[in-house]
Structure 1
Amino acid sequence: MHNTADHFQLDLNGISLSLYCAGPEQGKPAWLLHGFPECWYSWRQQVDPLVAAGYRVFMPEMRGYGRSEAPADVAAYDVLTLCADIRAAMDHFGHTQVAMVGHDWGAMVAWYLALLEPVRIKALITLSVPFAGRPRRPATEIMREASAGRFNYILYFQEPGRAEHELDADIDRTLRLLMYFEERNLLLQDKPADGRLFEDDMQVGALPDWCTEDDFAVYRHTFAQHGLRGALNWYRNFERNWHVTEPLQGQTIKPPTLFLIGDHDPVGKLEAYTLKKMPEWVGDLQQHVLKDCGHWIQNEQAEQVNQYLLEFLDSHFPGC
């Protein structure tokens, strides 16, 4: 798949956006939005089944990642700007009806795209990150109160330069720890607020069976040019996101939606309240919890994810 995907470099919304696609030119468009710290290639196990079902798959390298531009200004990464990238790319290809799929941060962009584009998005599939409307306060305010002076990785990411100094020092080790570290949960560490994300004694271990060394090389290459600065800037917009989304306050998700999450995904604990409230905000919702599955759901349980995805699309946005 890596060698057969077409590549486009698009000038839109003030940046150069890198995008890969595969499948028949007349196939119905399915957009796959990756999260942190991943890349377009995170969807490698979904491409062939979607193409076989008659879809043309579009996988952008999101703003700040890979060959896409990574503006220096933190404010260039608010959620409406990220949505505008994808809206402009859909316009470029003339898409009037699409299936939208997102994982992790890509899921958050997908949720807001569904609010902004309830007609164009015919089917919405989100993985790992739930939605229950615009919060009453910026999420970082809530996190500071909840963490009560203890370490919180999102709060740690807030100060420009601090996390980059640690994470960019050895990108290979960083990616392996963030994505494949199994002995400790990096998202739920109990330590002082002024700590670092990684401890010196953390060992990376072997890659999981769903990620070969060749696969990992694509992830590594994604961050070779920009490091993780652009990706971290997404986290630095929680307060700005809250302000710019005020016009969307109270709006619910209209497109039919499939939500998938792993039973071992730490986001399930972090977002337990959001998961509980989600049915009130998503009018047509199907959701499934995948067993023996962590956060990297579309790779850890690719076969099951693909089955759910294709069955849902066949019902709500059937292939050609």
Structure 2
Amino acid sequence: MKRKSNADLNDFPNPTMIAVNGVQLEVFEAGRENVGKPIVLCHGFPEHAYSWRYQVPALVKAGYHVIIPNQRGYGNSSCPTVVTEYDIEHLTGDLLGLLDYYGYKDATFVGHDWGANVVWSLTLLHPTRVNKVINLSLPYQVRGEKPWIEWMEEVFGMDFYFVHFNRQPGVADKIMDENKFNFLRNIYRKNVPLQAPEPGMSMINLAQAEKPLGDPVMSDHDLSVYVSAFEGSGFTGGINWYRNLDRNWHFLAEVNPIIQQPTLMIYGGQDMIPKFEQLPEFVPQVEVITLDCGHWIQQEMPEETNQSILNWLEKQDIVGQSN
């Protein structure tokens, strides 16, 4: 299987393979001169550490030790074959392992999409290891009375991609693997015209669509980094995160649902993911920002994202110094 080369990543940091929590993670690190001030950036689906390429120089310049893993199932990181090895206990355990590897008691964690879900969960399960939270696109998910996939199946039906991934294992994986370029080209779009959802499963539709909608989020070169990475890993590892949602629901049963850490939530105003209006009830120290973009916030509006993050972090530092 083809794996991406370091040259594909241009000025992005070179990776190191780090053994944590029973797996090998491909980790990109910058700003080691800023040791003592860690910030960990967590990608989503179907993404790659490279999705944070625009944030790295700005965070290093601001004095942060930037740590960006390709999480399990992605890039050159381990892709376990057992589905349950992608549950929230394993995913958060990988991040704890990274903190331990670098000798950090805690860190600021930044997540986008599924990475945000992992950061929310990490903060609930291991609150002493997270000092600040910055999440993009995906707000806090309330643990309701029914497991998440069971609830989604009732509300959205069998074709909803979360449900389909769980109820028809292997079907979407195969189609996405057979259409890697098409799928990634078609999903990484912005300014997509509003239209009624197509019948069928959205991720399969994207993989099989001949023409993309809207405008590309990234250059052909940047897209090739993603395509090359998924030629090596395939999509099953990332999809297995979805296949543990109900298992995660059980893990979180006894956890205090309130997040006390200072938190920044950045929404894309054109994103299909709805805002969570009750967010302050569960995250009392939250500040909310909405940028005029779609789902791929830090890649669509990198300068505005960087400014929002850095301004908020600076504000937190001032508050910390005054206490």
Q: Give the alignment's TM-score, normalised by structure 2.
A: 0.88
CA RMSD across the alignment: 2.4
Q: Select which of 158, 162, 186 maps to 1:154.
A: 162
Instruction: State the partner residue of 1:81.
Output: 90
Instruction: State the partner residue of 2:63.
Output: 54
Mapping of 1:51-130 within 5 angstroms? 51-130=60-139
Q: Is the 8 A contact 2:147 2:246 kept in 1?
A: yes
Q: Is the 8 A contact 1:50 1:310 kept in 2?
A: yes
Cα distance in 2, alignment partners of residues 108 and 139 from structure 1: 13
Counterpart code for 1:11? A
Per-residue deviation, 1:207: 6.1
Q: Which structure carries more relative contact order (alpha carbon 8 Å, separation 6+)?
A: 1
Q: Does 1:253 align with 2:262?
A: no
Q: Is the 8 A contact 1:5 1:22 kept in 2?
A: yes
Cα distance in 1, alignment partners of residues 263 and 102 from structure 2: 24
Per-residue deviation, 1:99: 1.1
Q: Is the 8 A contact 1:254 1:283 kept in 2?
A: yes
Counterpart code for 1:35? G
> Are the structure 2 counterparts of residues 46 and 199 from structure 1 closer, same or farther at C-alpha, using a change threshold of 3 Å?
closer
Instruction: State the partner residue of 2:279.
Output: 278
- Once the two structures are overlaid, the 10-residue window that deviates more, 85-94 or 199-208, is 199-208
Instruction: State the partner residue of 2:6.
Output: none
Q: Is the 8 A contact 1:132 1:278 kept in 2?
A: no
Per-residue deviation, 1:201: 5.0
> Are the structure 2 counterparts of residues 228 and 22 from structure 1 closer, same or farther at C-alpha, using a change threshold of 3 Å?
same
Cα distance in 2, alignment partners of residues 26 and 110 from structure 1: 22
- Once the two structures are overlaid, the 10-residue window that deviates more, 37-46 or 191-200, is 191-200
Q: Is the 8 A contact 1:122 1:316 kept in 2?
A: no
Q: Deviations over 1:50-79 (max 9, x none)?
A: 011111110000110001000111111111
Instruction: State the partner residue of 2:291.
Output: 290
Q: Is the 8 A contact 1:176 1:207 kept in 2?
A: no
Cα distance in 2, alignment partners of residues 189 and 24 from structure 1: 46
Cα distance in 2, alignment partners of residues 156 and 122 from structure 1: 36
Counterpart code for 1:222? A
Q: Does 1:231 align with 2:238?
A: yes
State the aligned residue count: 309
Q: Does 1:170 align with 2:179?
A: yes
> Are the structure 2 counterparts of residues 180 and 118 from structure 1 closer, same or farther at C-alpha, using a change threshold of 3 Å?
same
Instruction: State the partner residue of 2:229.
Output: 222
Q: Deviations over 1:129-152 (max 9, x none)?
A: 011432322111111111245x31
Q: Does 1:10 align with 2:18?
A: yes
> Are the structure 2 counterparts of residues 317 and 221 from structure 1 closer, same or farther at C-alpha, using a change threshold of 3 Å?
farther
Percent identity, aligned pairs only, is 36
Per-residue deviation, 1:199: 7.7
Mapping of 1:261-276 within 5 angstroms? 261-268=267-274, 272=275, 275-276=276-277
Cα distance in 1, alignment partners of residues 152 and 294 from structure 2: 22
Q: Does 1:179 align with 2:188?
A: yes
Per-residue deviation, 1:317: 4.5
> Are the structure 2 counterparts of residues 133 and 199 from structure 1 closer, same or farther at C-alpha, using a change threshold of 3 Å?
closer
> Are the structure 2 counterparts of residues 200 and 35 from structure 1 closer, same or farther at C-alpha, using a change threshold of 3 Å?
closer
Instruction: State the partner residue of 1:304.
Output: 304
Structure 1, unmatched stretches of 5+, are: none
Q: Deviations over 1:202-231 (max 9, x none)?
A: 4036862x5122211211122111210101
Q: Is the 8 A contact 2:41 2:68 kept in 1?
A: yes
Per-residue deviation, 1:247: 2.4
Q: Deviations over 1:38-97 (max 9, x none)?
A: 100000110111011111110000110001000111111111210000101111100123
Cα distance in 1, alignment partners of residues 190 and 286 from structure 2: 32
Q: Is the 8 A contact 2:99 2:106 kept in 1?
A: no
Counterpart code for 1:223? F
Mapping of 1:194-213 within 5 angstroms? 196-198=204-206, 201-204=209-212, 208=216, 210-213=217-220
Cα distance in 2, alignment partners of residues 82 and 195 from structure 1: 23
> Are the structure 2 counterparts of residues 259 and 113 from structure 1 closer, same or farther at C-alpha, using a change threshold of 3 Å?
same
Q: Does 1:242 align with 2:242?
A: no
Cα distance in 1, alignment partners of residues 225 and 54 from structure 2: 14
Q: Deviations over 1:128-183 (max 9, x none)?
A: 0011432322111111111245x312112222210012101121111111222765
Per-residue deviation, 1:283: 1.7
Instruction: State the partner residue of 1:36.
Output: 45
Cα distance in 2, alignment partners of residues 201 and 181 from structure 1: 16
Per-residue deviation, 1:195: 9.9
Structure 2, unmatched stretches of 5+, are: 1-8
Cα distance in 1, alignment partners of residues 62 and 207 from structure 2: 45
Counterpart code for 1:175? L
